Structures are given as C-alpha cells and as structure tokens.
C-alpha cells in the first residue's frame, strides 16, 4: 500500500503501524491518522502492519496492557489477566523479522503494548504503573533488525523530525 514517487525508487519501503495510516484497526475500532507520516507516501511505499489484527484479534477487541510478572513481561487483558497474547505476538514478530528486513525503516505507534518503542506503560501485578518499556512486537523487531532505522510516532511531530528520520532511512 502507499503511493510511489518518481523521485525515489519503488523499492524503498517504510513499514508503519496501520492505525497511523488511518486504518481502523485499534482495539476501540478507531484509527490514529498521522498527517505528517501519511505525507511520506509522496516519497516512499508505506507498508502497513497491525500485529494484533494479524494474530487474529478482532476490531474492536478487549484492550491489553504490559505486566511485569515472574515469567517476564506479559501482554494481558486489562480486565481479564487470563487473556494473555504474549506468545502469539512474539511468535508473529519473529516471523515478521524476515518480511520487514526488506524495508528501509519502521514507524511504530507510541504507547501500544504491541507497537510502542520505549513509551509503553509497564504495570506491576497490582496494576500500578512502574515505568515504560517497548511493546512486545516492537521489542522483537528491534532485536532482530538492529540496523534498521526505527522510530515512534511521538518522535515525528514536526517537519524537522520527519526530515531527520528520512535522512536515516536514505543512508
Ligand atoms: S498500535 Fe499497533 S497493534 Fe495497535 S492498532 Fe496500531 S498497528 Fe495495531
């Protein structure tokens, strides 16, 4: 998906959390359209991904949050801790390591338990926030594709920040 430019070769792809491109894939059935990111379609092929939909969760769906447990960080239902999608998310992310290595960069939705890159709230088992971390999907990709430019949408709030990311992508 995404427009192609005569200036940039078609092969230059940036993978983007689908909700940022206006796809209604969020847990609440909404999207988080980001005009500056969408504008990148003038120059690059924007390839949408939504790991939660890809592992078979519906839209809308019950929200999950990251919880630090004795078994590591788990993605569990906010109202139902038995609803644990950790293993499915991580297995899917491992599969995507190969697929997404063809991209020149990745843009993630901030604060998401799947897609956040450093901004995702992390809770203890008593539901108290204890810090911030990576979403589980983003964490796997960061580890398996360490050379790929990756950024959260919250770090692309200005034209200057977009230009700096594009520069990293084109290096
Ligand atoms: S943040 Fe990630 S998992 Fe959540 S709706 Fe957007 S693309 Fe899907």
Atom of ligand 1 at shortest distance to CA of 26? 5
pLDDT at 11: 79
Residue 1 within a domain: no
- CB of 50 sitting under 6 A from ligand 1: yes
Q: Is 105 helix (H, G, I), strand (E, B) or coil?
A: strand
What is the number of domains present in the chain? 1
> What's the pTM value of the predicted model, to 2 decimals?
0.93
Residue 140 within a domain: yes
**CA-nearest residue, atom 5 of ligand 1:** 26
pLDDT at 7: 57
Residue 111 CA to ligand 1 centre (angstroms): 10
The domain in which residue 69 lies consists of 13-170
pLDDT at 6: 52
- CB of 86 sitting under 6 A from ligand 1: no
- CB of 37 sitting under 6 A from ligand 1: no
Residue 147 CA to ligand 1 centre (angstroms): 23
Atom of ligand 1 at shortest distance to CA of 53? 8
Residue 6 CA to ligand 1 centre (angstroms): 30
pLDDT at 156: 98
Residue 6 within a domain: no
Atom of ligand 1 at shortest distance to CA of 27? 5
Atom of ligand 1 at shortest distance to CA of 49? 7
Residue 7 within a domain: no
Which residues of the chain, if any, have pLDDT below 50? 1-5
Q: 134 forms bridges with which residues in the sheet?
A: 117
Angle (CA) 128 109 6, round 5° = 170
């Amino acid at each position: 998906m995404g427009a192609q430019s005569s200036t940039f070769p078609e092969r230059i792809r940036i993978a983007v959390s689908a909700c940022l491109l206006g796809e209604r894939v969020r847990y609440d059935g909404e999207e988080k359209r980001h005009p500056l990111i969408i504008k990148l379609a003038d120059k690059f092929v924007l390839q949408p991904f939504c790991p939660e939909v890809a592992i078979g969760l519906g839209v809308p769906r019950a929200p999950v949050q990251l919880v630090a447990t004795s078994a590591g960080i788990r993605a569990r239902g906010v109202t139902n801790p038995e609803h644990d999608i950790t293993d499915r998310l991580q297995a899917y992310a491992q599969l995507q390591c190969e697929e997404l290595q063809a991209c020149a960069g990745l843009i993630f939705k901030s604060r998401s338990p799947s897609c956040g890159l450093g901004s995702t709230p992390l809770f203890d088992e008593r539901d108290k926030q204890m810090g911030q971390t990576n979403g589980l999907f983003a964490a796997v990709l960061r580890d398996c594709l360490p050379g790929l430019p990756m950024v959260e949408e919250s770090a692309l709030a200005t034209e200057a920040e977009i230009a700096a990311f594009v520069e990293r992508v084109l290096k």
